[in-house]
Chains A and B, each alone.
Chain A
């Protein structure tokens, strides 16, 4: 029963990674390489562009995940008692999840660019006079556009995951705590939060892994330098200089190792693996 899947997965995924590993370790005839070497990994790890990129990727993924987790949790708590079965509301909350990252990136250029729609609103609100007064959020130095894109996409995801957990109870635990004299903060801190934390943490892990491997969003909303890892790897792979290619493959292998560790952590948390969960695409 597993045979067709194992053939596809084994051949394309495991086989692909195997080939990538071999090529990154020095078996790359197109560039005249036939010998085992760690040179590509060494040169990558001493390459300033790549080192900056590692730092930037971890930083942006961490910030975007943290904001999404906090905002998602807040959104879930707000929606908790609201129209429990409302289909319209749940569709609305799901829409940003349905918007592909590519479309989100294109949209943000129109929305938060310096002559974008929000900048125009800011003009009429008397906050700015010319487009240059609006903070640079697209292709900016700090990768703010990238963070905003992911926060908009992943906040509803974390909110829905947390909401699914919250709706397993009718708030009877909070009620019990309130009867015992717990303040609103104490009810949140000692009752609600421990209840949703496992879901929120594992969802955040998924989100982090996804942002870590990002391509489309940083490609459209980030700077060419410093860029996130996915962008750097892709750029070097498609470079006309074939000797760049093993470096690019080595970078992709390192990214896979990080993702593998994150997936391992997710499984280790003992979270649900199967089920009709939407993917982050």
Chain B
């Protein structure tokens, strides 16, 4: 039994750390022939290329960051009032709303994006950053609403009323009662809305075409191009911020279903 546990820990640690290690080694490999376990020659050439202006990685990372930041902010702003309503009130059609919230989070909203595409064509939003932001909101907003409702549902609505009775202003109630109570949920919702957008490939390609080049788009094109070292370096540029954001909020995650 001790041995089984040891292997379980080893397996998990391997699963978690191997990706970064392997990608790092590949990104510094200049020549690496079969069957060596480590590269024959090491070089920072692919990193020099990835970090140069020629590769377009900086521009792509900038677009990804801008789009994901906008999606995260918009999703949270839109989700906050809706999450309050979902958590605290019963209203007609609530079950339908929950259904509609869960659907785009679980299933990639391919049909919706294709339908939106024809409208975006007419309104000239196709192949633009605002168009891509809008289509990323389809999964990000419902996700943020579901996460934030979790926080609101653990906060007693009467607390706000009590603070008001004691003479707190609306602002003070928000600042000292509501916000501290929902802060973890807010962090998770913002972080994951960011990550949903940051790692999105399919919706970006559908609406952004070849004009909106985000990191995943550039990553896939390098992967298809077959340059292993550059693809590995680019994967790290894509992966490390993701892991950082995830670890930052991981303590607030709950895994109950």
Which residues of A line the B interface, CB within 8 A? Answer: 1-6, 8-9, 12-23, 75, 78-79, 82, 87, 89-104, 106-107, 109-111, 115, 117, 119-121, 123-124, 130-131, 152, 156-157, 160-161, 163-165, 199, 202-203, 206, 209-210, 212-216, 219-220, 230, 233-234, 237-238, 248-249, 252-253, 255-256, 259-260, 262-264, 266-267, 271-279, 281
Q: Give the docked Cα–Cα distance between A175 and B247 (Å).
A: 35
List 30 A-B residue pairs with CB atoms under 8 Å apart, sorted by A's residue number: A5-B82, A8-B137, A9-B101, A15-B116, A16-B111, A17-B111, A82-B9, A92-B13, A92-B15, A94-B246, A100-B216, A106-B219, A110-B232, A160-B255, A209-B107, A230-B108, A238-B205, A238-B206, A253-B111, A256-B111, A266-B102, A271-B257, A273-B146, A274-B149, A274-B150, A276-B185, A276-B254, A277-B254, A277-B255, A281-B196
Q: How far is the CB of B230 from chain A (nearest CB, A)?
A: 11
Which residues from A are CB-within-8-Å of B43?
none
Residue pair B254, A275 in contact (C-beta under 8 Å): yes
Interface size grouping (class) on chain B: 35 or more
**B11 nearest CB neighbor, chain A only:** A75
Evaluate contact between A103 and B238: CB separation under 8 angstroms. Answer: yes
The stretch that binds A, out of B29-37, B50-58, B157-165, B170-178, is: B29-37
Tell whether B66 is near chain A: CB-to-CB under 8 Å: no
Q: Is the CB of A260 within 8 A of B103?
A: yes
Residue interface mask B98-118, A partner, CB < 8 A = 1: 111111111111111111101
> Are A91's CB and B250's CB within 8 A?
yes
The one of A1, A206, A279 in contact with B81, judged by C-beta atoms closer than 8 angstroms, is A1
Q: Once the chains bind, are B257 and A161 in contact (CB under 8 Å)?
A: yes
Contacts of B15 in A (CB 8 A): 92, 95-96, 152, 156
Q: Once the chains bind, are A255 and B85 in contact (CB under 8 Å)?
A: no
Select one of B17, B86, B105, B257 contacting A199, CB under 8 A: B257
The answer on a CB contact under 8 Å between B141 and A213 is: no
Given contacts A16-B112, A252-B110, contact A277 B100 (CB under 8 A): no
Considering the chains assembled together, what is the distance between the CA atoms of A252 and B203 in angstroms?
A: 13
Residues of B within 8 A of A263 (CB): 99, 102-103, 106-107
Residue positions of B touching A, CB distance < 8 A: 4-5, 8-9, 12-13, 15-19, 22-23, 26, 34-37, 77-79, 81-82, 84-87, 95, 97-116, 118-119, 134-135, 137-139, 141-143, 145-147, 149-151, 153, 184-185, 188-189, 192, 195-196, 198-202, 205-206, 216, 219-220, 223, 228, 231-232, 235, 238-239, 242-243, 246-247, 250-257
Q: CB distance A161 to B256 under 8 Å?
A: yes
Q: Please, which residues of chain B bring their CB within 8 A of the CB of A157? A: 255
Residues on the B chain within 8 Å of A266, using CB: 102, 106
B82 touches A4 (CB 8 A): yes
CB–CB A117/B82 < 8 A:
no
Asked whether A103 lies within 8 Å of B150 as measured between CB atoms, the reply is no
Q: Which of chain B's residues have a CB closer than 8 A to the CB of A6? A: 82
Q: Which of B8, B35, B141, B201 contacts A9 (CB 8 A)?
A: B141
B147 & A276 in contact (Cβ 8 Å cutoff): yes
Is the pair B118, A19 in contact by a Cβ cutoff of 8 Å? yes
Main secondary structure of the interface of A (DSSP, over half): helix
Give the chain B neighbours of A82 by CB distance below 8 A. 5, 8-9
Question: Are B78 and A8 in touch, CB under 8 angstroms?
Answer: yes
In Å, the complex CA distance between A210 and B196 comes to 14
Residue from A12, A164, A252 with most neighbouring chain B CB atoms (10 Å): A12
- In Å, the complex CA distance between A220 and B135 comes to 23
B19 proximity list for chain A (CB < 8 A) = 99, 103-104, 107
Contact assessment for B138 and A252 in the assembled complex, using a CB-CB cutoff below 8 Å: no
B34 & A115 in contact (Cβ 8 Å cutoff): yes
Query: Besides the contacts A78-B8, A274-B86, what 16 more A-B pairs have beta carbons closer than 8 Å?
Result: A5-B79, A12-B112, A13-B103, A75-B12, A79-B8, A95-B243, A102-B219, A102-B220, A120-B34, A160-B255, A206-B106, A252-B110, A259-B106, A272-B257, A276-B147, A277-B257
Assuming the A-B contacts A98-B243, A263-B107, are A124 and B37 also in contact, with contact meaning beta carbons closer than 8 angstroms in the complex? Answer: yes
In the complex, A266 Cα to B98 Cα: how many Å? 11
A21 to B118, CA, bound (A): 12
- Distance A216 CA – B22 CA, assembled complex (angstroms): 21
| Identity of the chain A residue whose Cβ is nearest the Cβ of B148 in the assembled complex | A274
Decide if B220 touches A274 in the complex (CB within 8 Å).
Answer: no
Are the CB atoms of A262 and B106 closer together than 8 Å?
yes
Pair B115/A20 contact, Cβ less than 8 Å? yes
A211 CA to B174 CA, complexed, in Å:
40
Q: A266 vs B105: C-alpha distance in the bound complex, in angstroms?
A: 13
Kindly state the separation between the CA atoms of A274 and B178 in the bound complex, as whole angstroms. 18
**Cross-chain contact of A96 among B4, B16, B142, B252 (Cβ < 8 A):** B16
- Alpha-carbon distance between A111 and B14 when the two chains are bound, in angstroms: 12
Asked if A110 and B37 sit within 8 Å, CB to CB, the answer is no
Decide: A256 and B105 in contact? CB cutoff 8 A: no
Contacts of B36 in A (CB 8 A): 120
Does the CB pair B134–A12 fall under 8 Å?
Answer: yes
